[in-house]
């Protein structure tokens, strides 16, 4: 969370494949591997609501979300350093919205697969905040077919989220005969 991390090294010529990707991805992978390893060692019948493995997995998700935002800011940066500028261009704002929505949907899918209730709630909060950002901020700067396309894309994404929740989370188990 150190803001000086963006000033340590001048931006290189490559926009996505850079040292930010390397550093954050290595750390997030290490957190995920440690969480997987600790999850195997932790007892299933543990009464603790928060385990070390869940904290490490949460830290990995935070790092990956930071990486997403840093990479978007780096892609649209014009000077020697990265700056987070909301409202600078419509394309940058929409890239943040699409990135956050895709990240939230991927997190929701992973948490449905891993049966993580806390992760599903976090993913739904991110998806809801992204939806509000899209409706209240992004759509005001779009006109014509771009606004229609944004509505259609958002509607399809929210329909996928609702179908996934209905099928994998809210479905009642089949009664056994």
* 64 and 96 both lie in a single domain: no
Q: 153 is in which domain, residue-wise?
A: 86-169
How many independent structural domains does the chain possess?
2
Closest-CA residue to 9 (of 88, 103, 80): 80
| 103/77 same-domain check | no
Same domain, 109 and 50: no
Q: Are residues 48 and 79 in the same domain?
A: yes
- Exposure letters 121-148 (e unless 16+ CB within 10 A, then b): ebbbebbeebbebbeeebbeebeeeeee
One domain for residues 101 and 79: no
Same domain as 149, residue 127: yes
In a domain, 176, yes or no: no
User: Domain check: are 63 and 92 in the same one?
Assistant: no
Q: Are residues 58 and 98 in the same domain?
A: no
- The per-residue pLDDT for range 129-169, each reduced to its tens digit, is 999 998 888 888 888 888 898 889 889 989 999 998 888 88
23-32 burial: b if 16+ Cβ within 10 Å, else e: ebeeebeebb
User: Could you read off the pLDDT of 11-59 as tens digits, one per residue?
Assistant: 777 888 888 888 899 999 999 999 989 888 876 656 666 788 889 999 9
pTM of the model: 0.83
- Whether residues 62 and 3 share a domain: the answer is yes
């Amino acid at each position: 969370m150190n803001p000086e991390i963006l000033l340590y090294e001048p931006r290189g010529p490559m926009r996505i494949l850079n040292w930010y990707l390397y550093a954050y991805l290595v750390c997030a992978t290490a957190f995920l591997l440690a969480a997987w390893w600790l999850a195997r060692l932790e007892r299933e019948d543990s009464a603790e609501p928060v385990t070390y493995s869940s904290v490490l997995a949460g830290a990995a998700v935070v790092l990956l979300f930071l990486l997403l935002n840093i990479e978007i800011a780096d892609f649209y940066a014009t000077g020697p350093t990265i700056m987070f500028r909301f409202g600078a261009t419509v394309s940058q704002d929409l890239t943040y919205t699409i990135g956050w929505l895709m990240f939230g949907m991927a997190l929701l899918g992973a948490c449905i697969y891993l049966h993580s209730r806390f992760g599903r709630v976090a993913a739904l909060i991110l998806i809801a905040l992204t939806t509000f950002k899209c409706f209240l901020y992004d759509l005001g700067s779009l006109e014509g077919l771009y606004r229609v396309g944004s509505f259609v894309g958002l509607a399809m994404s929210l329909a996928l989220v609702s179908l996934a929740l209905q099928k994998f989370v809210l479905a009642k188990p089949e009664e056994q005969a």
